[in-house]
Structure 1
């Protein structure tokens, strides 16, 4: 029995996944375009946080652009001939672009957490600041709050993404179509070959390293704030720490809810993957696809999270629709300006 006949999608794949992607698409497109519109009118483009935000929105829009291809692939991909034009388009513009864009969003989310944590040590006394290690890691954390570093860092990320995408597409275009694979929905597309498995394992390891680093920043801030509460009263400057702690917690929750299940299951998927047990093969592939959909849903949640947690963004958005917002009011989705003003007043 070949892979095409063994791997057969259930209604959960052919009906539920296309519906979910079709619902996520307008929400993600509208929310991220609205975020671009609001922040382009109100934000200072030289701010570090806005550089990360602009790249995050770009990655979100790229993920959204793959959703029509993914919806079509899951709906009728089991009828497309393997090697056909529509199959290659869905595979390249759907799965591949979505995967690389997903890791761009993970990297930028972690960068935002690092930059906010490092900003707390700027222009304040050591008794009020969480101490950064005086080594390479501490120096690197400080770099994340610099606009020049943020521009170069995001540029390097997109360059790596472009190289990976071009390499994989070139390899797949030159690949000969095997007669054993009849349909586009097959185990080779779903699980990948050895180079893709190695790349996926490396990406999973990088995710867990980034996740643990963000978890360390949250733990460090929590411990520092607890020490402040025991020794002194909570002043205006200390409320800034709570704001940063809340924002890092949101990033940590997004990584935990949207991305952690997928990356926990990914090694399990490769370990349990077998070509002889068709029921197990179908269950594993469908679980993987739904967890991938959960990760893709994050691009539609970003604007909602920004709106709920960032008061400046909320006021700027309200002002654009009511035409009553003052000219000097900025939408940045960052707290850098607010922290600088409060630290100056309290020092």
Structure 2
């Protein structure tokens, strides 16, 4: 890259604040996600669509948490490491691979969960009205997201595609960096990447906005339909599921907006401004990018808290783990997490 000769000088925000944040997120996220995985393994039905999506989501969260100690050390000492050292290689290649793969797997699975929930209500609504051919096709496509077999294959495909794109970008970047003279690990070559990194970042940003707009459309469509129901008739008990699903899709939308949207708005701006040889400004751009990446990574630590607050079934299961097991508990254990409507 043209700006690879610019020497980055990390501020105390990078060398102190980021390591402290990652050091706090790591134990909180690891404990919460391990506890969530344990509860799912004991109480959830492995043949349910919800279980498949949530297991993959928890796996992605744990992988992100596993990179946090390396990132904390990298931001604290990376400017002192020689480029090509073992510590630099682990933080650069392995950390980047795990972080970005898990991040975009999380985003796409969140979108799939939203579609799965929306499909449940779409099915309930469509049974009351005759549908045109295109509406039937649309409903059939949505219905796939509720099928366990489809969910399993979808998650495998998501992991495979994201890993392939990320590994390819990293491999090309490694070849380009081999021809450069990098003296420190914390450098423009590592932080900004090469041309292949920009291409993969553009694809990733596009996939995020597709997922973001899909969830937004689902929430808008559901809100509009719920508004019509409220105007025409009184919402009965069987319609309460609309409010529950509306809340859960809203939570997914908020997660995408608060944790991921700032990074994906800034990333194209970051790539454009890299063309200017202004080292002080490049230092600020890199630090902003790293803090927005940290914001995106914090989602993996917040997931268990969000699940505990919003999912009554998860809350009851967590509470039940600390109570003495009774025959009545065993009787209801098999029914836990069996609702076809996935919950956050």
TM-score (norm 2): 0.91
After TM superposition, give the deviation of residue 284 of structure 1 in Å: 0.5
Kindly indicate whether residue 315 of structure 2 is the aligned counterpart of residue 314 of structure 1. Answer: yes
After TM superposition, give the deviation of residue 175 of structure 1 in Å: 5.5
1:41/1:257 Cα in 2 relative to 1: closer, same or farther (>3 Å)? same
Structure-2 separation of matches of 1:234 and 1:281: 55
Kindly indicate whether residue 340 of structure 2 is the aligned counterpart of residue 336 of structure 1. Answer: yes
Query: Is residue 173–residue 193 contact of structure 2 (8 Å, CA) maintained in 1?
Result: no
1:131/1:278 Cα in 2 relative to 1: closer, same or farther (>3 Å)? farther
After TM superposition, give the deviation of residue 6 of structure 1 in Å: 2.5
1:337/1:251 Cα in 2 relative to 1: closer, same or farther (>3 Å)? closer
What is aligned with 2:260? 259
Structure-2 separation of matches of 1:198 and 1:175: 14
Say how many residue pairs are matched: 338
What is aligned with 1:345? none
Query: Is residue 170–residue 197 contact of structure 2 (8 Å, CA) maintained in 1?
Result: no
What is aligned with 2:191? 190
Unaligned runs of 5+ in 1: 340-347
After TM superposition, give the deviation of residue 274 of structure 1 in Å: 3.9
What is aligned with 1:8? 9
Query: Is residue 165–residue 200 contact of structure 2 (8 Å, CA) maintained in 1?
Result: no
What is aligned with 1:220? 221
TM-score (norm 1): 0.90
What is aligned with 1:37? 38
CA RMSD of aligned residues (A): 2.5
What is aligned with 1:205? 206
Query: Is residue 173–residue 197 contact of structure 2 (8 Å, CA) maintained in 1?
Result: no
1:271/1:128 Cα in 2 relative to 1: closer, same or farther (>3 Å)? same
CA deviations over 1:191-246 (Å, ceiling 9, x no partner): 11111101100110111111001000000100000000000111011110000000
Structure-1 separation of matches of 2:226 and 2:132: 12
Structure-2 separation of matches of 1:337 and 1:193: 43
Structure-1 separation of matches of 2:133 and 2:210: 18
The residue correspondences of 1:1-347 to structure 2 (distance < 5 A) are 3=4, 6-122=7-123, 126-127=127-128, 134=135, 137-168=138-169, 170-171=171-172, 177-178=178-179, 180-274=181-275, 276-324=277-325, 326-327=329-330, 328-329=332-333, 330-332=335-337, 335-336=339-340
After TM superposition, give the deviation of residue 336 of structure 1 in Å: 1.8
After TM superposition, give the deviation of residue 124 of structure 1 in Å: 5.8
Structure-1 separation of matches of 2:158 and 2:179: 34
Query: Is residue 130–residue 224 contact of structure 1 (8 Å, CA) maintained in 2?
Result: no
After TM superposition, give the deviation of residue 180 of structure 1 in Å: 3.2
Query: Is residue 97–residue 165 contact of structure 1 (8 Å, CA) maintained in 2?
Result: no
1:131/1:272 Cα in 2 relative to 1: closer, same or farther (>3 Å)? farther
Unaligned runs of 5+ in 2: none
After TM superposition, give the deviation of residue 273 of structure 1 in Å: 1.8
Structure-1 separation of matches of 2:30 and 2:136: 42
Structure-1 separation of matches of 2:85 and 2:293: 24
Structure-1 separation of matches of 2:276 and 2:179: 17
CA deviations over 1:228-282 (Å, ceiling 9, x no partner): 0000111011110000000000000000000000000011111122452111101
Structure-2 separation of matches of 1:285 and 1:172: 18
* Bigger mean CA offset, 89-98 vs 117-126: 117-126
